[in-house]
Homo-oligomer: A and B are copies of this chain.
C-alpha cells in the first residue's frame, strides 16, 4: 500500500544527484541563480527528470528544506523534553525557536528561494502547517487571552530568508535566534510579574 513497487535504482540515484546539485548551486551563487536548467545540468540529468521528481521549482526547494528540518520535526513529536512533549510551555517554545532559528540561519538563502517560488501556497505546505500547529498549541496554552492562531503565523512570518540575511552580522550568526526568543518570551509574559529581568539600559538613540 505504501508503495506497490520499490523506486527504481536509477530514480533514487538521480533524486540524490538533483538535491545535491541544488545544494551546491545555492551554496556558491546567490539563490536567484538556481535555475532548474542549471540544476539539471550540474546533476547530469535531463530537465524532465527534475520535474518528474519534484513537480516544480517550489517542490524541489521544499524537499531540500524538509530534509534539513526532518530531525527537528521528529524531536518535537517524539523526542525528549524540552523539545519534545513534557516540558513547560516556555522551555518548549524556546527550545523550538532555537532549533528552527538554527536551521533558518544556516539556510537563509534556501529559505529566500523557497519563499520566492512558493508565493501563495506557502501556507498549504505540510511543513509550514506543522510548525504553525505546534506554535499555536503552545501559545494557546500559555496565553488563552490572545489570538494564538495569529501569533503562530506572526512568529513564522519573521522566519524570512531575506530578513535573516539582512539582520545577521557576520560576527554574530545567532542574533536572529536570540532576538526572536526574546520576543516570544515577551509575548508569553502576562501582565503579572516574573522573568525577563529588566535591564537598566537608559535609552538608545540611533
Contact of A119 among B112, B145, B183 (CB under 8 A): B112
> B203–A198 contact, CB under 8 A?
no
> With the chains together, A58 CA to B19 CA distance in Å?
31
- Chain B CB within 8 A of A7 CB: no
Contacting B at CB under 8 A, from A114-172, are: 116, 119-120, 122-123, 136, 140-141, 143-151, 153-154, 157-158, 160, 162-163, 165-167
- Chain B CB within 8 A of A9 CB: no
Question: Whose C-beta in chain B lies nearest to the C-beta of A147?
Answer: B179
Q: How large is the interface on A (under 10, 10 to 19, 20 to 34, 35 or more residues)?
A: 35 or more
With A145-B198, A150-B183, A204-B144 in contact, is A192–B193 under 8 Å at CB?
A: yes
Q: Which interface residue of A193, A203, A204 has the most chain B CB atoms within 10 A?
A: A204
Contacts of A150 in B (CB 8 A): 167, 179-180, 182-183
Q: Across chains A and B, which 9 residue pairs bring their CB atoms closest together, nearest first? A: A150-B179, A189-B191, A145-B198, A157-B157, A154-B158, A157-B158, A191-B196, A147-B179, A123-B166
Chain A interfacial positions (CB closer than 8 Å to B): 32, 112, 116, 119-120, 122-123, 136, 140-141, 143-151, 153-154, 157-158, 160, 162-163, 165-167, 179-180, 182-183, 186-187, 189-196, 198-199, 201-206
